[in-house]
């Protein structure tokens, strides 16, 4: 392993599937990104955008692709790379005949861990993931999807990996479970691990990730710091005693994007300095200002702006 290399490095990654009887499908098309060591990186995109394919390439599930992928400076097909990696796949299943403890022992032994190490690590991980003690010795076949998800995360961590790939880790969890996983992600960050997080639940990503990339139709359409992405274009929210059309017309001199939603005028502004003339504009048109504030975009707003509800990219974001 190269000590100074980034945790994950992808250059011009392209993967085309050739399903029998139908046209080729380009799952990834020239994806380039770098994830630094110790950061939580969010990988966002709608269903079928190519997120899971990217994780499969990075964890060596898919071997034939174009481009270059490296984990800590090494090709992904090296066994030593897989020693440093833990994975929670999007769809997972366990041997239904094994107990929760045995599942972790099974995966720990596959990871090459000794019985001595596992005898300490297995109970610690089960407790850390909030799996009740009485469930440790029960067979996993009848486990709920939430319990299986927690067990899956425990399996991803059993090898004490430096890099953890989590594909929809909160998908089957209730709000309490989601909070536990978010706390776990922050713990992993404090421990210095790198987390590559695929998720649809944007609020979870916003609360945990440093940087994100948004994938659409196999291409990265936006990437960067979460707070920077959300601050690209703030909104001014204005409430006044009346909303004359002349006021709206004058506000349109500030911005092309002016709308009235439930009596609130929403104006997309470039900077907070654009707020300064608004009180005088309102008074000039015979209304009184009741409320004026700047609203930042949430990650969900950014995602919807980038990807759009219909699937077409509706706005240009930072590349």
Partner 1 sequence: MNAALVIAGSCLKCGLRSKGLWAVIVATLVPMLILNIGLMLIPDQMWELAVQVAAGFHGEDVQSATEWVKETTEQADQKRELVLNTSVSGSIRLIGAVASLIAIFFTTLTNESGRKSLAHVLSHPIRRSSVVLGSFLGTLVVVVPCVFVMTVFAFVLLLIESGKADWPFFLSGLYLLAGVTVTTAYAVAFTTALHPIIGVFASVGYTWIAAKTYSVHLILQQVTGVAEHLGRAWLYLIPRLGDFSTVAIDKAMAWSMDEATAPPITGNMTVGFLLAALHVVFALTLATVSLRRKQV
* 3-class secondary structure per residue, 47-92: CCCCHHHHHHHHCCCCCCCEEEEEECCEECCCHHHHHCEEEECCCC
Among 85-93, 175-183, 192-200, 244-252, which window interacts with partner 1 (CB under 8 A)? 85-93
Ranges within 102-131 binding partner 1 (CB under 8 A): 102, 106-107, 109-112
Q: What is d(CA 138, CA 309) in angstroms, rounded to the nearest whole number?
A: 44
> Of these, 79, 116, 261, 312, which contacts partner 1 (CB under 8 A)?
79
Q: How far is the CB of 178 from partner 1 (least distance, A)?
A: 22
Residue 218 lies near partner 1 (rule: CB under 8 A): no
Among 95-103, 120-128, 208-216, 274-282, which window interacts with partner 1 (CB under 8 A)? 95-103
> Of these, 63, 116, 261, 312, which contacts partner 1 (CB under 8 A)?
63
Q: 284: which 2 tokens?
A: 């000039």
Exposure of 270 by Cβ count < 10 A (0-12 exposed, 13-18 middle, 19+ buried)?
exposed
Q: How far is the CB of 60 from partner 1 (least distance, A)?
A: 7
Residue with tokens 């469930």: 135
Measured from the CB atom, the residue of 114 and 319 that comes closer to partner 1 is 114
Q: 197: which 2 tokens?
A: 């997080």
Q: 32: which 2 tokens?
A: 């380039």
Does an H or E element contain 198, and which?
A: strand 194-198
* Cβ-based neighbours of 179, under 8 Å, separated by 6 or more: none
Question: Which residue(s) pair with 25 in the sheet?
Answer: 17
Site string for partner 1, 153-182 (x = CB under 8 A): --xx--x-----------------------
> Of these, 60, 194, 217, 223, which contacts partner 1 (CB under 8 A)?
60
Measured from the CB atom, the residue of 111 and 128 that comes closer to partner 1 is 111
Quick check: helix, strand or coil at residue 273? helix
Residue 1 lies near partner 1 (rule: CB under 8 A): no
Q: 182: which 2 tokens?
A: 């978010």
**Residues binding partner 1 (CB under 8 A):** 17, 56, 59-63, 79-80, 82-83, 85-87, 89, 91-95, 97-98, 102, 106-107, 109-112, 139, 152, 155-156, 159
């Amino acid at each position: 392993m190269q000590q100074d290399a980034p945790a994950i490095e992808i250059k011009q990654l392209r993967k085309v599937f050739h399903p029998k009887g139908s046209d080729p499908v380009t799952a990834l098309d020239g994806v380039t990104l770098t994830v630094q060591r110790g950061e939580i990186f969010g990988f966002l995109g709608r269903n079928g955008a190519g997120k899971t394919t990217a994780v499969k390439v990075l964890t060596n599930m898919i071997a034939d692709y174009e481009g270059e992928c490296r984990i800590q400076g090494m090709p992904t097909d090296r066994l030593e790379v897989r020693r440093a990696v833990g994975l929670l796949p999007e769809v997972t299943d366990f041997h239904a005949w094994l107990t929760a403890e045995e599942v972790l022992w099974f995966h720990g032994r596959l990871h090459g861990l000794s019985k001595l190490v596992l005898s300490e690590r297995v109970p610690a991980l089960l407790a850390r993931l909030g799996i009740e003690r009485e469930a440790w010795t029960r067979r996993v076949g009848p486990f709920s999807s939430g319990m299986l998800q927690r067990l899956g995360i425990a399996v991803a961590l059993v090898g004490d990996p430096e890099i953890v790939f989590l594909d929809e880790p909160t998908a089957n969890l209730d709000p309490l479970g989601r909070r536990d996983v978010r706390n776990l992600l922050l713990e992993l960050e404090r421990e210095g691990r790198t987390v590559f997080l695929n998720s649809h639940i944007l609020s979870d990503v916003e609360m945990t990730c440093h940087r994100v990339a948004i994938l659409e139709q196999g291409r990265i359409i936006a990437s960067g710091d979460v707070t920077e992405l959300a601050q690209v274009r703030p909104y001014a929210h204005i409430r006044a005693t009346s909303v004359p059309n002349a006021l709206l017309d004058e506000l349109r001199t500030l911005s092309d994007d002016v709308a009235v939603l439930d009596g609130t005028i929403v104006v997309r502004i470039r900077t907070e300095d654009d707020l300064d003339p608004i009180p005088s504009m309102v008074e000039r048109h015979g209304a009184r200002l009741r409320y004026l504030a700047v609203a930042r975009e949430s990650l969900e707003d950014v995602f919807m702006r980038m990807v759009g509800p219909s699937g077409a990219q509706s706005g240009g974001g930072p590349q």
